[in-house]
Structure 1
Amino acid sequence: MGPLQPALSELLLSHRSIRKYTDREVPQDLLERAIEEAVAGGSTYGNLNAFSFVVTRDAEQKKKLRGFHNQSMLTDCSVVVTICADWFRTREWLKSHSAKDNFDNFLGYHVAVVDAVIMAQNLVLGLESRGLGVCYLGTTLEVMKQISDLLELPETCLPVTTLVIGYPAENPPKRDRLPTKAYIHNEVYHKPDPQEIAEMYASREVSGWNRYMGQPELRAKIEKNGIKGLAEYYTSDFKYPEQDFLKFGKDIWKLLREKSFNAGASD
């Protein structure tokens, strides 16, 4: 497998999302070792471990996932890992000892989501430290029901995020972030005034806009729709439309009820 080479700070600063991969397969023992380390190094609510990893290598399964996510890298990569908020295993253990079932509710779901995200990020760091490329799929939240059905997830187990994993076939530039002062609030939250907001986003508005406008097909669409800047693009009907956010939000609430994360809830 090889030793973990980069220092943590170097690893964090070199992170970027990889969307193109070689044909080289990621060994199962490497993946399992990285998952083992991710779990060992991650905090979890009450040490109840309310998460699971579903590993997909089968070509047909990956093809189906690609259809849900509508992203070609699902079939180009070596392996896909879906990280789930999962109380099923714990609840079955509780049931076997005639103990109370206290986690089939919205707080339980929220706790499991936090656990799952912690494990996902730990896994990403472990994989990147071994020279692998990884990309998070935010589309998981949009197609939770389809993924849940395909992976045969049981009651109180839902997908939270998806990792596409493989050996990189590209070396994209690192994406910029807002200046550090934008994220740090000492003692209490500091509400930035309009001038501070403008300063925080000044560089991003230029770099982000240039990146999108550097893609000919996207540029044509942007110009056709009369979009003048990055803020307008992000909330456009072909980037992050409000109607989609409202729909997916309703779908998630419905799915939580279907998966029995609704104890104590009222309509």
Structure 2
Amino acid sequence: ALDTCIFAQQFNTIAEMHGLGCCYLGTTTYTAPEIAKVLNLPKRVIPLVTLTVGYPEGDAPVSDRIPIEGIIHEEAYHDYTVEDIRDIYAEKEAREDSRKFIEENGKTTLAQVFTDVRYPRENNERFSKIYYDFIRENFLME
């Protein structure tokens, strides 16, 4: 699995160096059964990464990501405090498009939109179960 992810990222980097645009799809895990069917994958071959590749139509805007402090932990993992989360999302929440997104979803913060609306726990658990069941079914001995 790690080699697959490393290869995908190397492919992504090289493709972008040659003028191609790439986008990882976050749907791979919960659409793995459909991907396997479409690609006619044999048992024990599990989709891990879906990467779209193509020539961009002009310059795309840079995606607004949270700062690196919201992703990387030095030496050991530490949980985020409410203040940490506010600081991490402050710049992103100040954007006009983000304020509109928050308002449209009836929330007060982006974190609430992502945890309550876009990626609620029940969806994450359902998607995890789909992937878990798919892997389990594909690795059962015949």
* TM-score normalised by the chain length of structure 1: 0.46
Distance in 2 (alpha carbons) for counterparts of 1:120 and 1:181: 24
The aligned counterpart of 2:56 is 168
Distance in 1 (alpha carbons) for counterparts of 2:10 and 2:28: 18
- Offset at residue 151 of structure 1 (A): 0.6
Distance in 1 (alpha carbons) for counterparts of 2:80 and 2:115: 21
- Offset at residue 182 of structure 1 (A): 4.1
Pairing of 1:214-229 with structure 2 (within 5 A)? 223=104, 225-229=105-109
Distance in 1 (alpha carbons) for counterparts of 2:54 and 2:131: 29
2:92 touches 2:98 (CA, 8 Å); kept in 1?
no
Greater Rg over alpha carbons, structure: 1
Q: Residue type of the partner of 1:153? A: L
2:93 touches 2:99 (CA, 8 Å); kept in 1?
no
Q: Deviations over 1:63-93 (max 9, x none)?
A: xxxxxxxxxxxxxxxxxxxxxxxxxxxxxxx
Pairing of 1:119-198 with structure 2 (within 5 A)? 119-198=7-86
2:64 touches 2:92 (CA, 8 Å); kept in 1?
yes
Distance in 2 (alpha carbons) for counterparts of 1:183 and 1:240: 17
Confirm whether residue 233 of structure 1 aligns to residue 113 of structure 2: yes
Q: Deviations over 1:147-166 (max 9, x none)?
A: 11111111211111211111
Going from structure 1 to structure 2, the CA distance change for 1:119 and 1:206 (only over 3 Å counts) comes to same
Determine helix, strand or coil for the equivalent of 2:48.
Answer: strand
Name the count of aligned residue pairs: 141
198-207 vs 154-163, which moves further: 198-207
1:222 touches 1:233 (CA, 8 Å); kept in 2?
no
Distance in 1 (alpha carbons) for counterparts of 2:75 and 2:58: 42
The aligned counterpart of 2:136 is 257
- Offset at residue 177 of structure 1 (A): 3.2
Distance in 2 (alpha carbons) for counterparts of 1:240 and 1:192: 18
Distance in 1 (alpha carbons) for counterparts of 2:110 and 2:138: 38
Q: Deviations over 1:163-209 (max 9, x none)?
A: 111110142221233334444444333445443333222112223xx
- Offset at residue 246 of structure 1 (A): 1.5
2:89 touches 2:110 (CA, 8 Å); kept in 1?
no
Runs of 4+ in 1 over 3 A off after TM superposition: 176-197
Q: Indicate the structure with greater strand content.
A: 1
The aligned counterpart of 1:211 is 97
Taking only aligned residues, the RMSD between alpha carbons, in angstroms, comes to 2.5
Q: Indicate the structure with greater helix content.
A: 2
2:30 touches 2:127 (CA, 8 Å); kept in 1?
yes
Which residues of structure 1 form unaligned runs of 5+? 1-111
Distance in 1 (alpha carbons) for counterparts of 2:52 and 2:98: 23
Distance in 2 (alpha carbons) for counterparts of 1:248 and 1:147: 14
* TM-score normalised by the chain length of structure 2: 0.81
173-182 vs 249-258, which moves further: 173-182
